[in-house]
Amino acid sequence: MHQRHPHTPGKKPVTLFGPDFPFAYDDWLEHPAGLGSIPSGQYGQEVAIVGAGIAGLVAAYELMKLGLKPVVYEASKMGGRLRSERFEGAAGVIAELGGMRFPVSSTAFYHYVDKLGLETRPFPNPLTPASGSTVVDLEGTSHYAETLDDLPEIFREVAQAWADALEDGARFSEIQDAIRERDAAKLKALWNELVPIWDDRTFYDFVASSKAFSRLSYRHREIFGQVGFGTGGWDSDFPNSMLEIFRVVMTNCDDHQHLVVGGVEQVPCGIWSHVPQQCAHWPAGTSLASLHHGAPRPGVKKIARASSGNLAVTDYWGDTREYAAVLTTCQSWLLTTQIECEEALFSQKMWMALDRTRYMQSSKTFVMVDRPFWKDKDPQTGRDVMSMTLTDRLTRGTYLLDNGDDKPGVICLSYSWMGDAMKMLPHPVEKRVQLALSALQKVYPKVDIAGHIIGNPITVSWEADPHFLGAFKGALPGHYRYNQRMYAHFMQDEMPAEQRGMFIAGDDVSWTPAWVEGAVQTSLNAVWGIMRHFGGATHAQNPGPGDCFAELGPMQLPD
Ligand SMILES: Cc1cc2nc3c(=O)[nH]c(=O)nc-3n(C[C@H](O)[C@H](O)[C@H](O)COP(=O)(O)OP(=O)(O)OC[C@H]3O[C@@H](n4cnc5c(N)ncnc54)[C@H](O)[C@@H]3O)c2cc1C
């Protein structure tokens, strides 16, 4: 097993601790006292969980351990956006259609990865040892590099300008130090200064108006957009709220990422069949799978308040069941497009937030190849014949996934977002592959990639799937208030009775959309909220997110 050690020697690790809500989810999960308990009179009570993605399954698993009976509904595939699709015939050779590289700072997510004993290893990101080599191809010129130092000077100037801009404009090191030290008060003080300023302004504005970039050329900014930092080009995020980008870099989301060997879908599916060591109420050997007799219930088409005061959930086939609490984890747009959700279940301010949430588009196209041929050496240059590739061409990011010399390899020909993903949207998989191959041919004129393809290609456009309508949230300027309302919704004590019992969690409720850790953390918030809804509480030695919310919760901006 590869070590996951992002540590700078002598310093504590950066984790996804805040910055909006600096609560240590990893400590809460690892504490021997457990997450809390509910009165024994509530044991066995049913809770509806809409969606069997990671947020739904983490909540279901933890609620089962508390002695409740989660009833999971899934309209499409289990695992949701952690989807590892198998290439036909080749055992264990997969395409990661959703999440594929997981920052080691995602400590609550890795709690479950480790519980399941899954192996992880570094993801072959640009300019990392795991990729071996990288080709940056911009404006028709290719540069071959193993590290940043191998690239022309202008790339280092861009990297330095980004570091300087963050330091100057956001006190980056001070914030990261507060995260490392888990100094919640200091972190909140620093972060809360940035929120009102940068909620109104875009990522592009931050870059263009920074001292560091404004003394350089337009070309520097352009290169930054194409090559970016960490995982690749970031220009598709230029219109987003700068707060969202700060969160990514401050919590090292874009750094030290691992893949899950054999596919990340094993995490949600593993949680489904995992038998916890300790479970209140349920007999030894109980798992989510056993509670469900093997499969989740079908998709949900209606949620309404029943005359009994409970919440009535109706599935696609018309079966209606009543629950004291319902947790929805599907994207919030689906509460108006897929599910007939009674309006009175949320305040109008919440509906504004749920509906204004904005999703980014994303498309990926994969092929399986006979072997990891890219490691062959060009006899003239001695270099790899093909490399992880970042380019301004149609493909944008090409990733090479080596399953070992004796196994087929996988090429993610293209992973793109927003406009670049929209270019693919109407096209069938064959055309997407052809478009990608012809772009890559211009970068690698001597390499016959097509000659290595075996099996059928795999592609995805998340925005084309009615169960998602987009890849992940990407907040726009002015969206902080919406994020805050949705995030804080699990704190229900002050809510009118007609709205209580409905909980939301998942990627678009989180402060760090597009990163699975946010889905897990919001799921744990919902666990706390539901535990309280059933009259339960945390252990005095192990306070939960709701216990610390009044003190540490995300700041509110005036409406
Ligand atoms: C292209 C892409 C790349 C990503 N890359 C990364 C990455 O590299 N690293 C990382 O950390 N994260 C990444 N993410 C983010 C990560 O995948 C998500 O944060 C996480 O998987 C979201 O989990 P969730 O449970 O919130 O939502 P989902 O996984 O969407 O789960 C919600 C479930 O609800 C179901 N559903 C919808 N409608 C209904 C209904 N009516 N009834 C019942 N069920 C319904 C859906 O089918 C789905 O299974 C990526 C996501 C995408 C799309």
Residue nearest to atom 5 of ligand 1 (CA): 99
Within a domain: residue 26? no
Q: How confident is the model at residue 9 (pLDDT cuts 50, 70, 90)?
A: confident
Q: Are 344 and 482 members of one domain? A: yes
Last residue of a domain, one of 435, 464, 493: 464
Task: Indicate which atom in ligand 1 lies nearest the CA of residue 519.
Answer: 26
Omega before 276 cis (within 30°)? no
Q: Are 128 and 275 members of one domain? A: no
CA of 82 to the centre of ligand 1 (A): 6
What's the CATH code of the domain at 496?
3.50.50.60
CA of 57 to the centre of ligand 1 (A): 11
Q: Are 286 and 417 members of one domain? A: no
Within a domain: residue 539? yes
Q: Are 69 and 91 members of one domain? A: no
Mean predicted confidence (pLDDT) in 264-292: 97
What's the CATH code of the domain at 99?
3.90.660.10
- Residue 2 predicted with pLDDT over 70: no
Within a domain: residue 27? no
Q: Are 451 and 303 members of one domain? A: no
- Residue 357 predicted with pLDDT over 80: yes
Q: pLDDT, tens digit, for every residue of 26-73?
A: 999 999 999 999 999 999 999 999 999 999 999 999 999 999 999 999
Within a domain: residue 192? no
Question: Quick one: DSSP state of residue 117?
Answer: T
Q: How confident is the model at residue 5 (pLDDT cuts 50, 70, 90)?
A: low
CA of 376 to the centre of ligand 1 (A): 36
Residue nearest to atom 33 of ligand 1 (CA): 51
- Residue 469 predicted with pLDDT over 80: yes
- Residue 496 predicted with pLDDT over 50: yes
Q: How confident is the model at residue 558 (pLDDT cuts 50, 70, 90)?
A: very high
Averaged confidence pLDDT in the chain: 96
Q: Is the CB of 548 under 6 A from ligand 1?
A: no
Question: Quick one: DSSP state of residue 77?
Answer: -
Q: What tokens were used for 369?
A: 């190849």
Q: Which of 396, 479, 476 is nearest to 432 (CA)?
A: 396
H-helix segments, 332-466: 334-337, 348-356, 418-422, 429-443
Within a domain: residue 246? no
pLDDT at residue 6, rounded to an integer? 53
Q: Are 454 and 306 members of one domain? A: no
Q: How confident is the model at residue 229 (pLDDT cuts 50, 70, 90)?
A: low
H-helix segments, 423-479: 429-443
Q: Is the CB of 363 under 6 A from ligand 1?
A: no
pLDDT at residue 139, rounded to an integer? 95
Within a domain: residue 343? yes
- Radius of gyration of the chain, Cα coordinates, nearest whole angstrom: 23
Mean predicted confidence (pLDDT) in 535-554: 98
Q: Are 456 and 522 members of one domain? A: no
Contacts of 187 (CB under 8 A, 6+ apart): 17, 18, 19, 22, 175, 178, 179
pLDDT at residue 292, rounded to an integer? 98
User: Which CA distances in Å does 473 have to 244, 348, 455?
Assistant: 10, 21, 33
Q: Is the CB of 53 under 6 A from ligand 1?
A: yes
3-state secondary structure at position 157: helix
Within a domain: residue 203? no
The burial class, CB within 10 Å (0-12 / 13-18 / 19+), for 395 is: buried
CA angle 339, 349, 313 (to 5 degrees): 25
Q: What tokens were used for 86?
A: 């198998």
CA of 77 to the centre of ligand 1 (A): 10
Q: Is the CB of 288 under 6 A from ligand 1?
A: no
CA of 92 to the centre of ligand 1 (A): 22
Residue nearest to atom 22 of ligand 1 (CA): 507
Give, for ligand 1, the residue of 516, 521, 523, 527 to mutate: max count of ligand atoms closer than 8 Å to Cβ.
516
Instruction: Say which amino acid occupies 37.
Output: S
Q: pLDDT, tens digit, for every residue of 65-117?
A: 999 999 999 999 999 999 999 999 998 999 999 999 999 999 999 999 999 99
Q: Which of 186, 95, 187 is nearest to 401 (CA)?
A: 95
User: Which CA distances in Å does 351 have to 82, 297, 335, 341, 354?
Assistant: 27, 26, 10, 11, 5
Q: What is the pTM of this model?
A: 0.98
Q: Are 325 and 411 members of one domain? A: no
Q: Are 323 and 392 members of one domain? A: no
Last residue of a domain, one of 439, 464, 489: 464
3-state secondary structure at position 138: strand
pLDDT at residue 480, rounded to an integer? 98
Q: Is the CB of 536 under 6 A from ligand 1?
A: no
- Residue 362 predicted with pLDDT over 80: yes
Q: How confident is the model at residue 488 (pLDDT cuts 50, 70, 90)?
A: very high
- Residue 325 predicted with pLDDT over 70: yes
pLDDT at residue 1, rounded to an integer? 41
CA of 507 to the centre of ligand 1 (A): 7
Q: pLDDT, tens digit, for every residue of 437-460?
A: 999 999 999 999 999 999 999 999
Domain count along the chain = 2
Q: pLDDT, tens digit, for every residue of 504-528?
A: 999 999 999 999 999 999 999 999 9
Within a domain: residue 76? yes
CA of 157 to the centre of ligand 1 (A): 36
Percent of the chain topping pLDDT 70: 98
Q: Are 501 and 428 members of one domain? A: no
Residue ranges making up the domain that contains 320: 36-80+265-357+474-552
Choice between 477 and 230, residue whose per-residue pLDDT is larger? 477
Q: Are 316 and 378 members of one domain? A: no
Residue nearest to atom 52 of ligand 1 (CA): 98
Last residue of a domain, one of 440, 464, 488: 464
Residue nearest to atom 29 of ligand 1 (CA): 80
Q: Are 454 and 374 members of one domain? A: yes
